[in-house]
Chains A and B, each alone.
Chain A
Amino acid sequence: MKKYERIVALFLSLAGLWIMFYAWDTLKLGSIHMPDAGFLPFLCGIGLAILGIVRLLTLQWTSLRGNEGPAEKRRWHRPLLSLALMVLYGWAMETAGYITSTLIFMVAWQQIIERERWLKTMLISLLGTLAMYALFVYLLKVPVPPEFFIG
């Protein structure tokens, strides 16, 4: 995990430097009498760059003292797969419509993330889709994307 933390700290320092440059060059700092749009972003950029460097040094110092602790077992795949499904759902919602995309999303979730049996998957997906549709459309009167297949 420390490797990722170092990458994040380095990224933050570089982002801070870029924000400082962007605020100074594009947004303009103005003067102390009349600060412009880049004034606070510039200060935040300085803060972010310094904090990133401090974090990097702290990690280095901990590493030299051998206090890193046991490496954490990473289980990124389920959250990343879920995130990918959510992105696809966002795209499909506008393309295919609410009911179709929700049904596909529920089936994909139960099969890929939860690895449920097909019967249970279909039951949960159908009931879930209908319940959410009823909740949003009839109870909360929320507009949902129209169905592509119905027109």
Chain B
Amino acid sequence: MDIFTGLINGFDIALSGTNILFCFLGAVIGTAIGVLPGLGPAATIALLLPITYIIGSPVTAVIMMAGIFYGAMYGGSTTSILLNLPGEAASVVTCIDGYQMAKKGRAGAALGIAAIGSFVAGTVAVLGLTFFAPPLAEFALDFGPPEYFALTTLGLLLAVALSGGSIVKGLIVLVSGLLFAMVGLDPISGKIRFTFGSIGLQGGFDFVTMAMGVFGLGEILYNLESAMKTEIVTTKLGKVFPTLKDWSDSKWPIIRGSVIGFFIGIIPGGGAVISSLASYAIERKYSRHPEEFGNGAIQGVAGPESANNAASSSSFIPLLTLGIPGNAAIAMIFAALMIQGITPGPFLVAEHPDVFWGVIASMYIGNVMLLILNLPMVGLWVQMLRVPYGILAPVIVLFTTVGVYSTQNQVFDVYSMLFFAALGYGMRKLDFDPAPLPLAFVLGPLLERSLRQSLLISGGDLTIFVTRPISGTLIAVLVLLIVGQTVFFLKGRARA
């Protein structure tokens, strides 16, 4: 099936009544959680994972979750601009100039350019996904166990290196994720590992339970430390549609942001946060008026908002073509596909073209929906900030508890979730970024299987990882990454 036929079939699937409805639901939920501070897209998708059992169709489930993910990028800019409060981590940088624009009475223009930039970048990234993913999936068909081992190791280490936090803490979370994935039956020898006699643990920890605990409840517990009170918005929005000057100032930042975001999004661990920071830095560096940045430069909103949207769409490329989730939210979508019995990876396009093309086509539709939802209806989203956290928090607790209970109808899963909730809270409290945990958890079995299979094939010869061209190249990148990080770390220490 060529790209155009695939895309037409994809639109046929995405435009069905049910899929349109769930795409819209995803866009609405995504925008809502993007607006609300304290609950990110990874946590929301984690909370909604049990619903995928009820939805039944994998295409519909992933269409909704993808909508939540890129919808959050649209919604995240609203509170950044109006309240100087990022609703989503990727919108932190938007606060700098967005809030200054709002203070000068240009909130509407900032929100407008953020929505339009997000739309353009989202569409550019989906176009890239359409044409880039199928050849990459075909290339990945040649991958054997050594290539998968090298790729998963590289992906996991990149996720830690690019997270921006402490490398040591990131590696601790990564190793912990791998160990949690090993609980239960060993898939090769059938031995029981780390169960301590518990029958409930013999099947291993469930991803849904882990994700809902660490991301959903862990975040709620952490937010409970401080009384979350949102101020009533008094900023006047002004005109939402940008002026001709705004267009002229923003067109190149939007284009640059789209390209930067697209490429950073493909790299595991890259994602929306880094792309928005990179875009802001580039816009400031190459601006003819860098002194305007920090004082309400529209380029400081247009570039980063475009970049984070492009990155969120392009991060589907490694998932759909290689089966490698690059960030926590994508790891949740990986799990949603696995729940439906579909393994993401190079065979996805050939074996489940409906899922592959249906999801891609839905992104075009979702971006149009989000533009409509975010431009004229921005005032409505701002009103959501009035919902007291005291009501929101227990409702989320009830939702997660029954959601987890319903997966296997046993209270053991609820206790497992609470264990992970305590872990998630502790990680946030001690400043450990939990993002590598779900990545290591979902990639752990693939990593172990490919390592053991590679050693079996080669008869214990470790050079198998470097003598094959693809795995050799990946290992070379891995070594460069480790050397680079070590040099960077030592230089930093010497300067300190």
- Residues on A lying within 8 angstroms of B by beta carbon are 1, 4-5, 8, 12, 19, 22, 27, 31-37, 39-41, 44, 47-48, 51-52, 54-55, 58, 75-76, 78-79, 82-83, 86-87, 89-91, 93-94, 98, 102, 105-106, 109-110, 113-114, 116, 124, 128, 132, 136, 140-145
Contact = CB atoms under 8 A, between A and B. Distances in A.
A132 B399 contact: yes
A47 B168 CA distance: 11
B189 A51 contact: no
Given A40-B178, A128-B394, A142-B54, A82 B415 contact: no
Interface stretch (B61-69, B221-229, B294-302): B221-229
Nearest to A57: B168
27 contacts: A1-B430, A8-B430, A32-B462, A33-B455, A35-B452, A36-B189, A37-B189, A40-B182, A44-B178, A48-B172, A55-B168, A76-B225, A83-B421, A89-B397, A89-B401, A90-B414, A93-B401, A93-B411, A98-B402, A109-B393, A109-B397, A124-B391, A132-B402, A136-B402, A140-B51, A142-B50, A143-B406
Contacts of A132: 395, 398-399, 402
Given A48-B175, A83-B418, A86-B418, A33 B456 contact: yes
Contact of B421 (A27, A86, A114): A86
Nearest to B218: A79
A108 to B, nearest CB: 9
Interface residues of B, number: 57
Nearest to B425: A79
Nearest to B178: A44
Nearest to B187: A37
A36 B186 CA distance: 9
B405 A93 contact: yes
B212 to A, nearest CB: 12
B422 A35 contact: no
Given A37-B186, A128-B398, 7 more contacts: A39-B451, A39-B452, A44-B175, A82-B224, A90-B418, A106-B398, A128-B394
Contact of A37 (B178, B193, B220): B193
B175 A110 contact: no
B460 A33 contact: yes
A78 B224 contact: yes
A55 B169 contact: yes
Which of A44, A136, A143 lies at the interface centre, i.e. has the most chain B CB atoms within 10 A of its CB? A44
A98 B411 CA distance: 12
5 nearest A-B residue pairs (beta carbon): A32-B460, A33-B460, A37-B186, A114-B390, A90-B414
B460 A105 contact: no
B130 to A, nearest CB: 34
B402 A86 contact: no
A103 B292 CA distance: 55
Of A51, A105, A110, chain B has the most CB atoms within 10 Å of the CB of A51
Interface in B374-414: 390-391, 393-395, 397-399, 401-403, 405-406, 409, 411, 414
B168 A54 contact: yes
Interface string B174-204: 0110110010001011010110000000000
B222 to A, nearest CB: 7
B217 interface: yes
B401 A27 contact: no
Contacts of A44: 175, 178-179, 182
A82 B221 contact: yes
A22 B462 CA distance: 25
